[in-house]
Amino acid sequence: MGKIPSILMIYTGGTIGMVKDYGTGALKAFDFEGLLKHIPELGQLTCNIKNTSLTDPIDSSNMNPVYWEELVSIIETHYHDHDGFVVLHGSDTMSYSASALSFMLENLNKPIIFTGSQLPIGDLRTDAKENLITALQIAAAQEHGNPIIREVCLYFEYKLYRGNRTTKINAEHFEAFNSPNYPSLAESGFNLKIHHANLLVRPKKSKALVVHKKMDQNVAILKLFPGMGAVLLDSILRTPQLKVLILETYGAGNAPTDEWFLNTLEQAIKSGIHIINVTQCAGGSVVMGHYETSKQLSQIQLIDGKDITTEAAVTKAMYLVGSGVSDALFKTVFETSLRGEMH
Ligand code: ASP
């Protein structure tokens, strides 16, 4: 029998780590040292589990690149002496964090599984136990002594997804996430079924992990709506230091053909701001030039976001600008899939 996998569980905050104080009814942070006592099932897993946490665990609505940097630093420190990582995270911004980490960790060769829950771990009907136990099991899954999953994933309610393909779709249901443009990587049912064909293709020779910690925050997201005025568009584009605007367009990447609209975008692009066309639809892809209403966007050099999620687009933009990708290369690099985030 091979070596027992060693998994590091990193608590960042969120509902999953809460217990209800039945005296006051309030939610309070869970003592992770006592985890095994509360979930004795963990003792049956064939892996060694260690745990650590962010210095100050947060509700994930407070997430920002400073915490991402702390998170990747923890992973970097423990990368060589662990076989996999489970990140316990609030569900609200989990898709953003999973996307961010997928870009920040280049040449990743081990599983990083994000999970959380809709109900606190101490709640009678909690979804936390199943999510946590299966996430740990997936992180520990190996073949020939190597981890099966070697990418940043999100596990929630019986499904494992590529993290940078996910989006939070429901604030109440246990099935809180979806991956509209990419199939699941694994499903938990009677057995744990891994869909090998959907996993990221790994390079033959594994390269050393490269950790990118600089995420540039000079990015913005603007969702189009009928009636949006010139003043709004203009003022967003005049944001000091703005480098990238993610423009959430209609359907297959369509936008108004008004002259003021196209001229404003064109001027901004000429002044060095990168504008990315992503669809505001829950699923499907931008197809630049398919309709007259997107042909002109293509002509003025809007970047084609294809089927990327807004969460992945904004974090990819932060990563590329942070890494110092030149203005001349930005469009080409953005339109290339780096971590399986677009087709
Ligand atoms: N507001 C919480 C958070 O995102 C919700 C959750 O944990 O799912 O941290």
Convert the pLDDT of each residue in 99-111 to its tens digit.
999 999 999 999 9
Distances (CA, A) of 119 to 51, 88, 113: 21, 13, 19
Q: Which residues are catalytic?
A: 15
Residue 50: pLDDT above 90?
Answer: yes
User: In the prediction, which pLDDT does 40 show?
Assistant: 82
Query: Which two three-digit tokens encode residue 242?
Result: 């703005």
Query: Which two three-digit tokens encode residue 123?
Result: 């709640």
**At how many degrees (to 10) do helices 94-104 and 65-78 cross?**
50
Q: How many CB atoms are closer than 10 A to CB 200?
A: 16
How many Å lie between the centroid of ligand 1 and the Cα of residue 15?
5
Residue 1: pLDDT above 60?
Answer: no
Closest ligand 1 atom number to CA of residue 92: 4
> Is any ligand 1 atom within 6 A of the Cβ of residue 52?
no
User: In the prediction, which pLDDT does 123 show?
Assistant: 79
Query: Which two three-digit tokens encode residue 204?
Result: 């033959």
Residue 178: pLDDT above 90?
Answer: yes
Cross-strand partners of 188:
192
Non-local (6+) Cβ contacts of 20 within 8 A are: 26, 27, 120, 122, 123
Q: What is the pLDDT of residues 282-308, one digit of tens each?
A: 999 999 888 888 899 999 999 999 999
CA distance 264 to 185: 42
User: In the prediction, which pLDDT does 41 show?
Assistant: 86
Residue 198: pLDDT above 60?
Answer: yes
> Is any ligand 1 atom within 6 A of the Cβ of residue 90?
yes
Query: Which two three-digit tokens encode residue 1?
Result: 């029998």
Closest ligand 1 atom number to CA of residue 94: 4
CA distance 334 to 332: 6
Residue 15: pLDDT above 90?
Answer: no
| Percent over 70 (pLDDT), the chain | 95
CA end-to-end distance (rounded Å), the chain: 39
| Percent over 90 (pLDDT), the chain | 81
CA distance 340 to 303: 18
CA distance 39 to 132: 10
Query: Which two three-digit tokens encode residue 162?
Result: 């590529």
User: In the prediction, which pLDDT does 133 show?
Assistant: 95
What is the band of 29 on the pLDDT scale with cuts at 50, 70, 90?
low
> Is any ligand 1 atom within 6 A of the Cβ of residue 64?
no
Which of 61, 63, 114 maximizes ligand 1 atoms within 8 Å of its Cβ, making it the mutation to test the pocket? 61
3-state secondary structure the chain: CCCCCEEEEEECCCHHHEEECCCCCCEEECCHHHHHHHCHHHHHCCCEEEEEECCCCCCHHHCCHHHHHHHHHHHHHHCCCCCEEEEECCCCCHHHHHHHHHHHEECCCCCEEEECCCCCCCCCCCCHHHHHHHHHHHHHCEECCEECCCCEEEEECCEEEEHHHCEECCCCCCCCEECCCCCCCEEECCCEEECHHHCCCCCCCCCCCEECCCCCCCEEEEECCCCCCHHHHHHHHCCCCCCEEEEEEECCCECCCCHHHHHHHHHHHHCCCEEEEEECCCCCCCCCCCCHHHHHHHHCCCEECCCCCHHHHHHHHHHHHHCCCCHHHHHHHHCCCCCCCCC
> Is any ligand 1 atom within 6 A of the Cβ of residue 131?
no
Strands 84-88 and 244-249: unpaired
Which of 11, 30, 58, 60 maximizes ligand 1 atoms within 8 Å of its Cβ, making it the mutation to test the pocket? 60
CA distance 130 to 152: 19
What is the band of 32 on the pLDDT scale with cuts at 50, 70, 90?
low
Q: What is the pLDDT of residues 235-277, one digit of tens each?
A: 999 999 999 999 999 999 999 999 999 999 999 999 999 999 9
> Is any ligand 1 atom within 6 A of the Cβ of residue 97?
no
Residue 2: pLDDT above 80?
Answer: no
